[in-house]
Amino acid sequence: MSWKVTLPCTRAEAEALQVEDIALADLDPLPVLMTSERVPDDAEQWQLDAYFEEAPGAATIDALKSLVPSSTDAQPVIEEIVEEDWVTISQEGLEPVHAGRFYVHTESNKGDVPEGAHPIRIEASRAFGTGTHETTSGCLIALDALKRRGARFDNLLDLGTGTGLLAFAALHLWPRAHATASDIDPASIEVTRENAGINGVAIGGGAGELALAVASGMQHPLLTQSAPYDLIIANILAGPLVELAPSVADALAEGGTLLVAGLLDRHVDMVARAYRAQGLRLAQRIPRGDWPTLRFVKRTRYGPARTRRLSRGSGEAPGFGSW
């Protein structure tokens, strides 16, 4: 049994939502937050649905309202949901995603895999990255395009991996590469490990295997020892992308490729400036609604003192912090 609270909000509020917001810090477990349009193409007519394991009290409702200030005077809609959990609810209405050569699906919506497509099963879970969002599908399209142009990568990093989807896709395209997936959230690494088992991806430090690390940005021995990377994928947010620009650029090999997503159109110039300052050029912009994917290439005249790979280790590494 669970509970659902619905509040009106704006698109801007929806995009800014963070379940780790201090307003919800005293709630255990944290609610699951989902947003959607109430009126198509109306930025002022969105809604927030919050799912709780127990009936929310007045203080909880007030904390939820503080996340979407436009709902201050609104009457919340509170529903009891019997014999359903948030994973089931979040999957209702989800359609499989066909992006590039990849076909991302859940156990229940697989249907017929398109001819020539590579299926990846990713269930809705505690981590971001089921393929349905433009940021994730944009990265899948970018990876597919790189392969079609004949790109080859031997050492890659999925920074902020979420569910592991993009790392799995990259390993499918370059199956002999060394691959690392990291995330600041330990739950994401647990989910990635589970999804790796479902999709037949080996966990470890060898060629064709995926090494995992709970890491704050690039600050982890496994990430620094495995550098330089010839491909880095970072589907995170505009703020961390800018903050991490020096360390990400330093970990990228000369001539290497960086794919970034998680930013809105209005953030492109800011993110591009941050990476240009580190010797990367913007080679491609892939539009996906309001959420573009950017491809950067590191200029070969930069980075004479590059990090050298020391050891792949066991493929597992503890420790985490904040961006």
Which residues fall in the annotated binding site for S-adenosyl-L-methionine? 136, 160, 183, 235
The CA distances from residue 141 to 23, 101, 318, in Å, are 37, 8, 31
Q: Which residues contact 161 (CB under 8 A, 6 or more apart)?
A: 129, 167, 181, 182, 183, 188, 189, 192
Q: Which residues are annotated as a binding site?
A: 136, 160, 183, 235
Strands laid side by side in the 118-121 sheet: 97-99, 102-105, 118-121
* Region label for 298, one of left (φ > 0), alpha (ψ between -120 and 50) or beta (otherwise): beta
Residue 181's nearest CA partner among 172, 170, 173, 289 is 170
CA 307 to chain centre: 25
Largest CA distance in the chain: 61
